[in-house]
């Protein structure tokens, strides 16, 4: 009893079509969700007539929220550790610059305290970030 041709033959080839379909769906999901994952500190920045700075390399931003909490990038930093964190940061060592954004309702003295601490950490260029005014509006 021999096997007849066409019956019981196994196909040893891998079908990659379902794999490609799943990979394309995952790629689309990650492409859509990646921009949403950029989180920052929720601040109400003062508005001023200013140009928007390009962010080619990614700037180091020190944020101070309305409660006075400090954030270096998206990581919260206690006031006592700010000078050490800034002086040991690789980006600060290379660029010697820091961008500061503070909530509109924050007392001016807290912003000055952060600026003085940054100067003690060796930062030579301090820049303040604002919300650009909308064209034709206030």
Query: Does the reported pTM lie above 0.95?
Result: no
Q: Give the pLDDT of residue 5.
A: 56
Token pair, residue 44, equals 């109400």
**pLDDT of res. 20:** 92
Name the strand (E) or helix (H) holding 9.
none
Looking up tokens 């010697």 gives 96
- In angstroms, rounded to a whole number, what is the distance separating the alpha carbons of residues 16 and 81? 53
Residue 137 is predicted with a pLDDT of 46
Alpha carbons 92 and 122: distance in angstroms, whole number: 8
Classify domain 47-132 by CATH architecture: 2-Layer Sandwich (3.30)
Q: Between the CA of residue 26 and those of 15, 18, 118, what are the distances in Å?
A: 19, 12, 43
Task: Indicate the burial class of 8 (C-beta count within 10 angstroms; 0-12, 13-18, 19 or more).
Answer: exposed
Residues of the chain with pLDDT under 70: 1-7, 37-57, 132-138
- Give the ranges where 58-107 is alpha helix by DSSP (H): 82-88, 90-95
**Domain boundaries, given as residue ranges, for the chain:** 47-132
Measure the CA–CA gap between 102 and 89, rounded to whole angstroms.
21
> Strand pairing partners for 98?
126
Query: What is the reported pLDDT for 138?
Result: 45
What SS3 class is residue 110?
A: helix
């Amino acid at each position: 009893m021999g096997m007849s041709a066409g019956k019981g033959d196994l196909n040893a080839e891998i079908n990659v079509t379902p794999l490609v379909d799943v990979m394309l769906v995952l790629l689309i999901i990650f492409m859509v969700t990646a921009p949403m994952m950029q989180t920052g500190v929720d601040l109400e920045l003062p508005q001023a007539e200013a140009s928007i700075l390009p962010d080619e390399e990614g700037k180091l931003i020190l944020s101070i929220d309305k409660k006075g909490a400090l954030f270096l990038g998206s990581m919260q930093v206690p006031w006592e550790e700010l000078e050490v964190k800034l002086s040991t940061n690789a980006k600060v060592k290379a660029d010697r610059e820091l961008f500061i954004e503070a909530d509109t309702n924050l007392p001016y003295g807290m912003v000055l305290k952060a600026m003085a601490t940054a100067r003690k950490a060796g930062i030579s260029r301090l820049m303040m970030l604002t919300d650009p005014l909308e064209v034709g509006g206030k």
